[in-house]
Amino acid sequence: MTPDGGASEEMLRTALGHALRSVGIRGRIDSINRRENVYESTHRSEVLECCVGGVAQPAILCKYGPVDDRDHLGLRHGLAYEADVYRYALCDLTAPPRFFGSYLDAACDVSWLFLEYLDEGWQLDLGPETAIVDAAAMLGELHRTASNSPPQAARAKLNRYHEAYFHHCLAQANAQVASWGELVPSFDRISHQFQSAIPYLVAAPRTVVHGEFTPHNVVWAHERPRVVDWEQAATGPGEIDLAALTDDWPPELVELAAEAYVASRWTRTPGHDFAATLNASRLYWLFRWLGDPEQAGTEDEIAWLAERVNEASAL
């Protein structure tokens, strides 16, 4: 690595060469032009323009960072995990960017991930409000397709949102909020609501869930929404993604988005209590952040989360 933590040219060439060969792109790397990725990312990232065996390749987004990591709830994530998600769970889906391979440098504890760069795209949170309705329709189609794939062997590689996970999420939030005192006088009430809602999340049909399907992670490119940053992917109820997408949007748009999602995911009426599961997912989305110490590190962050709790308990 370079003194500033970046990747040296030699390391990049080695990683890119291995990754491209793993997806069937062979030949000598003739040239690599590197530039900064203008979009914010959890890991260091660059945009590559390269020529392999005399053939110019599409622009590639290169992300690199620690080999493995776990979040505050104990779920595996990090670039090595995200690479497995692309390799095993997303291979038949068109919504994610194209996968150009990955490389693990165990000696340097660095994982590399190479993806299609959506250079002409714009993030959904920067576009018109009604774009979330189109994104919800795409999400329903994605969940419908993913519910029939990947095979069980591939699903075993993914994190799972199961009953124990949701109860752990509740416990972490309870422990975190206990120190907030009178900021959230109604917390016990909403905590019991989430506990009562967990059975809906457990009973709902399972699919491949993005885990952080916020407008920030949906890029409108090539005349359709594309989904990026699959590091938090797991199997679980798809309503979790819909709750994340529509969080804090006007009620009329949320209703339209929910209708678009249902129409795309099921040809008939859902075979479970969709409305109750979506409400449970909204509570989960809030509790997921409440239990994360990195999201409540300052007085302003605590005040914002406390306000969200109070708003939710008033519904």
pLDDT at 3: 42
Q: Residue 213's closest CA among 127, 307, 125, 306?
A: 125
State the CB neighbour count (10 A cutoff) for residue 48.
20
Q: Which fold has domain 9-116?
A: Phosphorylase Kinase; domain 1 (3.30.200)
Average pLDDT over residues 192-196: 95
More confident residue, 289 or 95: 289
Q: How far is CA 138 from CA 79, 177, 227, 245, in A?
A: 25, 36, 10, 12
The Cβ of residue 126 has, within 10 Å, a number of other Cβ atoms equal to 12
Residue 278's pLDDT is what? 97
Q: Do 148 and 242 touch, CB atoms closer than 8 A?
A: no
Whether the pTM exceeds 0.95: the reply is no
Does domain 122-313 sit in CATH 3.90.1200.10?
A: yes
Sorted by where each begins, the domain ranges of the chain are 9-116, 122-313
Instruction: Name the residue with tokens 């939710």.
Output: 312
> Position of tokens 């929910």?
258
What local confidence, expressed as pLDDT, does residue 166 receive?
97
Strands 55-56 and 99-105: unpaired
Per the CB < 8 A criterion, the answer to whether 216 and 245 are in contact is: no
pLDDT at 188 over 70: yes
pLDDT for position 30: 94
Contact by Cβ (8 Å): 201, 219: no
Kindly tell me if the per-residue pLDDT of 13 is higher than 50. Answer: yes
Please state, rounded to an integer, the average pLDDT across all residues of the chain: 88
CA distance 146 to 140: 10
Residue 33, CA distances (Å) to 30, 97, 114 in order: 10, 20, 15
Q: Please report which confidence band the pLDDT of residue 2 belongs to, taking 50, 70 and 90 as the band edges.
A: low
| The predicted structure's pLDDT at residue 4 | 52
For 20-62, the pLDDT digits (tens) are 999 999 999 999 999 988 776 678 899 999 999 999 999 999 9
Q: Which of 280, 194, 288 has the alpha carbon at shortest distance from 237?
A: 280
What is the average pLDDT across 138-153? 82
pLDDT band (50, 70, 90) for residue 220 = confident
Q: What is the mean pLDDT of residues 254-266?
A: 96
Q: How far apart are CA 209 and CA 213, in angstroms?
A: 8
List the helix and strand counts (H, then E) for the chain. 10, 14
In the predicted model, what is the mean pLDDT of residues 7-24?
A: 93
- pLDDT for 6 equals 67
Terminal-residue alpha carbon distance, the chain? 51
How far is Cα 196 from Cα 303, in angstroms, rounded to an integer? Answer: 26
Q: Closest Cα partner for 158 from 203, 109, 207?
A: 207
Residue 143 has pLDDT above 70, yes or no: yes
- Let me know: does 220 contact 226? Beta carbons within 8 Å: yes
- Span 137-153, average pLDDT: 83
Q: Is the pLDDT of residue 132 over 80?
A: yes
CB-CB neighbours of 154 under 10 Å: 17
